[in-house]
Amino acid sequence: MSQPVTAKTVYAYALPEGTKPLAIFSSLYRFPYTQFLDSTAPDQQGGRYSTVLFQPVEILEVWGDKVTVTNRDQQLSLRGKLTDLLAERLDVWGQGEVMTDPTLPPFQGGAVGYFGFGFGHVKQRITDIPQAAFGIYDQCVSFDHAEGRAWYVVVSDSEEQARNKYNHFARLSSRSFLPAEDSVQPHLSWAPRVLPGPLKENVRRLTDYIHSGSFDRTFLCQYYEGDIPAGYDVLAHYQSLRQENKTPLGACLMLGGLNVMVADAEPVFTVNNKQIEVYHISNRTPRPEGSLRDHVAAQELANDQAVMDAHHRLAKDQAIRLSSLCRANGILGPSTPEVVETGHEYQVGSITRGVLNEKTTLADLLDSFTPAAIHSSTPLDRTLRVVSEMEHLTRGPAYGHTAVIGFNGHMTISLNTETVVNNGNELRFTTGLPVNANTEPDIWYDELVDQAEAALNRIGSDTEQRKASMG
């Protein structure tokens, strides 16, 4: 492959005050592999940074047991681990070490994309959705919401080359295609993939596996599918999601013929200069309408000792996994669980902090904090094989990770909890709930429908048609 041969430096150009992330994204989103990371880095209860990425220098996609690598010179199909290839290609395009700027937001060029649910743990069927997809970017637009500032950031061989790229960006971004906020969007009608009877039977089968000792918990999904209506526009849809959900984390990933809209996400971990913060989230509880009822719901959750104890046990398990990746005595936490407000939900959250040892790799981190490990128990491969046989479809980015991996070693990993996938032919939405030894299929199904109903209302749908289809 063609490889850069000169050392590189980060150059930044301040953008006018009041520059809006979605407006910048609207001017670039028609280019393949333009991605919008919406407040990706946690800052207490909200997000601090947003990033728009466009025109990658290289694209990596996983299809079955092969990784397709595409750059301006050629396209290759390789066998190998994506995590190893990502590390290799980041080293190539960043020349081992990029001269970064500590005054800018932490991501200053690198790889951005998603790892699908179950990635690396179970052999997945080849579908129209790659198991993982990443672009490697030497330019981006970064927003620091705490300071109210924005920059065009580029990794370049020289100041002259950086200025030329900035001028190119300025021309592209001079026209915004942002729809009017009061634009009327076409309704979306959704139909469940699996009918209630077979879905409940799958829950019963999973509890049988649990009682037999095969595993002790897992996570089962229902899939909803919808036609793409006339007049549908991805950007307008994502804009409406942002207005409706008001959650601190989200994303809109335009990955060639695949569009992924993350309406809600949970932070999993961030890494800066070997310092890692792991976020533990549990007990997602819908917020009731009315300020008094909302306050009471928050207090009840905070005072539920059983919930807090269960959260602490899970957080401690994650802290133990993290300890194997950190230096001796390099772990602090987990912190005391707290109730966190995130848009339409309350969550119980805590943080564990650590210092990674020098040998810890990206693959090590992903293996320890994979979406499958968060929702399922060991033996993980067996658990995932059983669930995948029941679900028939590949979850792809739904309940997978959105990942930001910088040339400078900065990493932000989030768990996609509400995701709309558009493959150009139809829309797909996936929702799910845990299954354990005490799960009652009828109760589980009723909770699933309530959760789907609330989520699809936020996503935008024809409620009457959807209720009829749910039965």
CA dist., res. 114 & res. 117, Å (int): 9
In the predicted model, is pLDDT for residue 360 greater than 80? yes
Give the best-scoring range by mean pLDDT among 201-205, 226-230, 311-315. Answer: 201-205
pLDDT (0 to 100) of residue 6: 57
pLDDT (0 to 100) of residue 97: 64
pLDDT in tens, 19-31: 999 999 999 998 9
In the predicted model, is pLDDT for residue 471 greater than 50? no
pLDDT (0 to 100) of residue 470: 42
Of the candidate ranges 50-54, 184-188, 400-404, the one whose mean pLDDT is the lowest: 184-188
pLDDT in tens, 414-449: 999 889 999 888 999 999 999 999 999 999 999 999
pLDDT in tens, 291-336: 778 888 889 999 999 999 989 988 898 898 899 999 988 899 899 9
Domains belonging to the chain, first-starting first, are 9-179+188-274+358-470 (3.60.120.10)
* Of residues 247 and 74, more confidently modeled: 74
pTM of the model: 0.90
- The pair of structure tokens assigned to 322 is 């993290």
What Rg do the C-alpha atoms of the chain give, in angstroms? 22
